[in-house]
Amino acid sequence: MNGHDFFLCGAALSALPSGALWWPSEACLVVSDLHLGRSERYARRAGALLPPYEVEETLTRLDADIAATGASTVVCLGDTFDDLQAAELDEAHALWLARLMAGRRWVWIEGNHDPGPVGLGGEHRAELVLGPLTFRHSAVAGAAGEVSGHYHPKARIAGQSRRCFLADAARLILPAYGTFTGGLYSDDAALSGLMQPGAVAILTGRAARPIPMPRRKEPA
């Protein structure tokens, strides 16, 4: 799967090229910030027209990751939908998601865009603790063994922008999994303040590739 394997507080994890996290020993797949329905919300609220295929494209990648890993548990780290109205999927997409959920433990973590799509079944939690790891939407200062999302981290590499995981000895921040999502560069103060010295950025793309986390250079 061209993932990057690493440890967080004793848990052996793999950052996948798609932006999903795989925890083999728990058969657990974790995704964050799908923002399904963003194009529809933009059209509804601002009249902005974006290509209307983002739900299908995002669900296609999620379907592929579930099939490749054989995950028995899926954790969505919040902001799965762009708002509550966007969670009212059309019939085809609702059936697609129901098929993915069938026979699996499916956990929705509350995000700041949606409090959890309660009409879709599954478990609904503010956060989830599994073994040494705590899954929540947004990072908490001083936490250890934390897996979160929210910031949509990305990195500048050779003049290009790449979505990335950010990892250090205490925490992991996942990239946005959804098709139409912006992001915060890793050298932003909000992320530099959260991540320990020695943190890495794991770039997504054809293969997951770790590099030292890009940070803003301090004036000499």
**How do residues 175-190 score in pLDDT, each as one tens digit?**
999 886 779 999 999 9
At 42, the pLDDT band (50, 70, 90 cuts) reads: very low
Q: Which domains does the chain have, with CATH numbers?
A: 4-135+143-212 (3.60.21)
Which region among 17-21, 112-116, 203-207 has the lowest average model confidence (pLDDT)? 112-116
Q: What type of residue sits at position 1? A: M
pLDDT at position 56 is 86
pLDDT at position 94 is 85
Is the pLDDT at 60 greater than 60? The verdict is: yes
Of the candidates 140, 136, 162, which has an alpha carbon nearest to the alpha carbon of residue 149?
136
Is the pLDDT at 43 greater than 50? The verdict is: no
pLDDT at position 89 is 75
Q: What type of residue sits at position 55? A: V
Query: What's the count of helices (H) and strands (E) in the chain, helices before strands?
Result: 4, 16
State how far the Cα of 29 lies from the Cα of 38, in Å rounded to an integer: 23
pLDDT at position 157 is 87
Q: Which residue has the tokens 């020993």?
A: 25
Sign of the C-alpha dihedral computed for residues 97, 103, 104 and 110 taken in this order: positive
Is the pLDDT at 40 greater than 60? The verdict is: no
State how far the Cα of 10 lies from the Cα of 12, in Å rounded to an integer: 6
pLDDT at position 41 is 44
Kind plus residue range of the DSSP H or E element containing 108 = strand 105-109
Query: What does the mean pLDDT of the chain come to?
Result: 87
Is the pLDDT at 141 greater than 70? The verdict is: yes
At 163, the pLDDT band (50, 70, 90 cuts) reads: very high
Q: Under a CB-based contact definition with an 8 Å cutoff, are residues 78 and 110 in contact?
A: yes
Q: Count the neighbouring beta carbons within 10 Å of the beta carbon of residue 46.
A: 8
At 204, the pLDDT band (50, 70, 90 cuts) reads: very high
Which region among 88-97, 134-143, 207-216 has the lowest average model confidence (pLDDT)? 88-97
Is the pLDDT at 120 greater than 90? The verdict is: no
pTM equals: 0.90
pLDDT at position 182 is 76
Query: Which residues lie below 8 Å from residue 67, measured CB to CB, with a gap of 6+?
Result: none
pLDDT over 70, % of the chain: 85
